[in-house]
């Protein structure tokens, strides 16, 4: 049993794609206190070495810079290191030890836990495949985080063995507005896909991430639905954001708020508890008034793969939002504000999208010939 984040927030922690190395450690969510009761004075003066497990537990217990709990990804990655180095003194973990583990990580295949709880290899075109460079880099990031914590905060070590990051392919995939509409229509034709169809359009219209769209709460909306607002602890960059909603996005919100009221009339439980979310679903067994736990389930993935949308994920809609605005001539600074990107550097990933003035300049050159 692996150490899990001490929070739920209604999230579903999908282990698809996670790497499993060896037996998972059974870790309590607290630091095991070291007792020196009964130890002789001579032994009590000896330096007590901290194990990697102890330091890792302390690191995971520390809040992030945005004063949040550590993410599910942090727990997944750190668990792998605890499986390998848990009982070793952190100061005894050297370059060779670190290099051996990361060599194993790089050559290992991606695995996940199926419905029966068995760990199996993930398959692509019928064959197991290795973890991606981005997944590998996640392990590097949290390895460095724990060791830097041990060096800079706890002063337990003076040296952190170096591990190189791998080159990642920048995400440039995006959909045109016509393709977004086609994708939404594809879902709307399915008996189970109408909610997802509206979420596709809403995400493209406002450009926000999965959490801020799929799990949008009613209290995050302005009374007149002109904007949605997120506090600092609800955003990725740790800054409060107010995102304007255009008329089509407002129409989608009104439709689902009305549906939430409809469900309250049908269900005594919801009359008492209320509906907190905008995009609620009707459960298979009972009306639960909860949002989708995850947008991209196996039915959605199969539908998209079979209809020309292979490789598209929910986050693709955010890229499509920015790409469409850039192609229309919107200034990068405005796109950054509308989408809630933390820096101008974030907009460089959309440099492949030609702006109207560039097309005009190219046409002017053609006229010279």
d(CA 239, CA 2): 32
Q: For residue range 12-53, what is the model confidence (pLDDT) as tens digits?
A: 444 444 444 443 444 444 344 334 444 444 444 445 789 999
Q: Which of 31-40, 54-63, 275-284, 349-358 has the lowest mean pLDDT?
A: 31-40
d(CA 223, CA 283): 28
Residue 91: how many CB atoms within 10 A of its CB? 16
Helices then strands, each counted (H, E), the chain: 14, 6
Most confident of 68-72, 135-139, 244-248, 294-298: 244-248
d(CA 237, CA 208): 13
pLDDT category, 245, cuts 50, 70, 90? very high
d(CA 84, CA 87): 9
Q: Structure pTM? A: 0.64
Cα distance from N-terminal residue to C-terminal residue, the chain: 70
Q: For residue range 139-193, what is the model confidence (pLDDT) as tens digits?
A: 999 999 999 999 999 999 999 999 999 987 665 688 999 999 999 999 999 989 9
Q: Topology of domain 177-358, per CATH?
A: hpI Integrase; Chain A (1.10.443)
The pLDDT of 239-258, averaged and rounded, is: 94
d(CA 286, CA 299): 21
| Averaged pLDDT score across all residues of the chain | 81
pLDDT category, 271, cuts 50, 70, 90? confident
Q: Evaluate if residue 201 carries a pLDDT over 50.
A: yes
pLDDT category, 244, cuts 50, 70, 90? very high
pLDDT category, 66, cuts 50, 70, 90? low
Q: For residue range 135-153, what is the model confidence (pLDDT) as tens digits?
A: 899 999 999 999 999 999 9
Percent of the chain surpassing pLDDT 90: 44
pLDDT at 123: 60
| Burial (CB count within 10 angstroms: exposed 0-12, middle 13-18, buried 19+), residue 311 | exposed
Compare 96 and 272 and report the one with higher pLDDT: 96
pLDDT at 274: 79
d(CA 270, CA 262): 10
The domain locations on the chain are 1-169, 177-358
């Amino acid at each position: 049993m692996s150490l899990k984040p001490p929070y739920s927030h209604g999230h579903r922690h999908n282990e698809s794609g996670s790497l499993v190395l060896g037996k998972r450690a059974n870790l309590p969510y607290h630091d095991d206190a070291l007792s020196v009761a009964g130890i002789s004075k001579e032994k009590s003066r000896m330096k007590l070495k901290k194990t990697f497990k102890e330091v890792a537990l302390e690191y995971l217990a520390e809040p992030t810079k945005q004063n949040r709990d550590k993410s599910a990804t942090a727990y997944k990655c750190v668990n792998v290191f605890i499986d390998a180095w848990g009982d070793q003194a952190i100061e005894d973990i050297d370059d060779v030890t670190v290099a051996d583990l990361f060599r194993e990580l790089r050559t290992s295949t991606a695995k996940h836990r199926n419905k029966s709880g068995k760990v199996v290899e993930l398959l692509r075109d019928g064959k197991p495949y290795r973890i991606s460079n981005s997944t590998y880099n996640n392990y590097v990031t949290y390895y460095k985080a724990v060791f830097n914590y041990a060096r800079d905060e706890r002063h337990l070590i003076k040296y952190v063995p170096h591990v190189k990051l791998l080159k990642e392919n920048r995400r440039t995939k995006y959909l045109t507005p016509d393709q977004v509409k086609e994708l939404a229509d594809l879902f709307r034709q399915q008996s189970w896909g109408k909610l997802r169809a509206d979420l596709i359009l809403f995400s493209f219209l406002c450009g926000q991430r999965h959490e801020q769209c799929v799990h949008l709460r009613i209290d995050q909306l302005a009374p007149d639905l002109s904007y949605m607002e997120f506090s600092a602890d609800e955003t990725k960059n740790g800054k409060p954001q107010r995102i304007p909603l255009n008329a089509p996005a407002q129409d989608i919100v009104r439709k689902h708020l009305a549906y939430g009221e409809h469900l309250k009339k049908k269900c005594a439980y919801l009359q008492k508890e209320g509906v907190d979310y905008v995009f609620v679903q009707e459960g298979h067994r009972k009306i639960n008034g909860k949002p989708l736990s995850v947008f991209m389930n196996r039915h959605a993935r199969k539908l998209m793969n079979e209809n020309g949308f292979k490789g598209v994920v929910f986050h693709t809609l955010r890229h499509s939002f920015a790409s469409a605005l850039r192609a229309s001539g919107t200034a990068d600074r405005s796109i950054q504000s509308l989408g809630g990107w933390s820096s101008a550097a974030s907009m460089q990933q959309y440099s492949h999208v030609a702006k109207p003035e560039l097309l005009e300049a190219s046409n002017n050159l053609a006229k010279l010939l």
